[in-house]
A and B are shown apart, each in its own frame.
Chain A
Amino acid sequence: MVPAEPIVDIRGLRKRFGSNEVLRGIDLAVAPGEVVAIIGRSGSGKSTLLRCINGLESPDAGTLAIEGRPMRLDDPRAMRDLRQRVGMIFQSFNLFPHLDVGHNIMLAPGLVKGRRGAQGEARARQLLARVGLDDKFEAMPAQLSGGQQQRVAIARALAMEPQVLLCDEITSALDPELVAEVLAVVEMLASEGMTLLMVTHEMRFARKVADRVVFMHEGAIHETGPASELFTRPQTTELRQFLAALD
């Protein structure tokens, strides 16, 4: 793939927590509409990488640009702008438990984009329908299954109309029978051209949906390539060991 203008452009990204160097110089350019699966062992820095991309963590070195615009962590207006373009979905859903499903979705567009009232509600209902939960507008998060909660979280992220979605192990907290309904929504987004960076342990899904797989090892990108090649012909022992340990 020849990335025209990368939508996410990461260069020399470093991050340490105290003496623990978690990211040791990450270079990654993601093209618009590309689906990138990030795999790697626990503690290899996958979550930290994603969290740097929308500024939940502040990098110690390196540059990061979204749609050609460099990230400015110290500029609240720039960050507000960036986070509208980069959405995130978490392993633990993180729905707001004090708000019903509809208000979970409408809160941020109302505050950030001034989209309130009937217009905001219509949009929220439309998004709920897209994730197959039309009838849950008034439900409280605690009344939903994990799979339904995660689909609401996806609808909530989509309500900001992001160009890029960061997904951090979004099916890892789900019972096995609920994984498929969430992955189906992600696959739909991928087919519609959403740029996706997803940390995942679902290798079959990565193989099916990802344009590119990135294997992280000890804070660096150890190996990367198209899913078909990476899984069938891993070049490094670390990746071979990682894949072998999976099955």
Chain B
Amino acid sequence: MVEFTLWDILRNLLLAARWTVALSLIAFVAGGALGLLLVLARTLPAGAVGRWAGRCVALHVEVFQGTPLLMQLFLAYFGLALLGLEVSAWLAAALALTLHASAFLAEIWRGCIEAVPRGQWDAAASLALTRSEQLRRVIAPQALRIAIAPTVGFLVQVIKGTALASVIGFIELAKAGTMITNATFRPFAVYACVAAIYFAMCYPVSAFSRRLERRLNGAR
């Protein structure tokens, strides 16, 4: 039997961690872009279109917040197969996590926009700014400041949430940990490494957010 050194374990885990990073990035960038569209649809002025858009977004959010990510992954993988679409575990995981992130981010950002006092809209409108100018120049900069902490908090959740993609056979960090354990019979060493790698990915993200928040608040 081959002897695995700690370095072998770590190296293989790091190779798999690339997929965790890739999946997190896709979920966050694509989910963020979709979430932004959703939140914009929800801030449309209350007309017939605005009401319908609002309802659709609310439903999307309810569905993805109200079901476990695990089920969303299963449904993306097996559901699309049922529809005759042969998707890889990679594509299914990316799709499920993107939709998942879009719903949560849309809801987080909507809360941030609503946290900006009503009077800011009134003042901007009474200065003859258009709806989109009000949003871009007055509301968004204030909402952005409020949004940093919860957004980054969710990003950390997404990074950790990618571990669930292992259930549909996608080989990322957590799955690689299990496979290497089965080959080495050194679960403690392997999972300690896995945890350390997750930490090494998440910690800089939160540290960065704290710095950013301090800087923005300092600039008041």
* Alpha-carbon gap, A47 to B126, bound state (A): 14
Nearest A residue to B138, CB-CB? A96
Interface contact B119-A112, CB-CB below 8 Å: no
Interface contact A96-B123, CB-CB below 8 Å: yes
B142 within 8 A of A: yes
**B212 vs chain A, min Cβ distance (A):** 15
B83 within 8 A of A: no
Interface contact A96-B129, CB-CB below 8 Å: no
Interface residues of B in 140-161 (CB under 8 A from A): 141-142, 145
Contacts of A97 in B (CB 8 A): 142, 220
Interface contact A111-B138, CB-CB below 8 Å: no
Contacts of B130 in A (CB 8 A): 76, 80
* Alpha-carbon gap, A51 to B119, bound state (A): 12
Interface contact B142-A156, CB-CB below 8 Å: no
**Interchain CB contact (< 8 A) of B127 among A81, A98, A112:** A112
A56 within 8 A of B: yes
**Interchain CB contact (< 8 A) of A83 among B128, B137, B220:** B128
* Best-buried of B122, B123, B137 by chain A (most CB within 10 Å): B123
Among the listed stretches A85-93, A182-190, A198-206, A224-232, which one makes contact with chain B, having 4 or more residues with CB under 8 Å of it?
Answer: A85-93
Q: List 28 A-B pairs, Cβ < 8 Å.
A: A51-B122, A54-B126, A55-B125, A56-B122, A56-B126, A80-B130, A81-B128, A83-B126, A83-B128, A84-B128, A90-B119, A90-B123, A94-B119, A96-B120, A96-B123, A96-B124, A96-B142, A97-B220, A98-B142, A107-B138, A111-B129, A112-B128, A140-B220, A156-B127, A157-B126, A157-B127, A160-B127, A160-B128
Question: Interface of A with B (CB < 8 Å)?
Answer: 51, 54-56, 76, 79-81, 83-84, 86-88, 90, 92, 94-98, 107-108, 111-112, 140, 142, 153, 156-157, 160
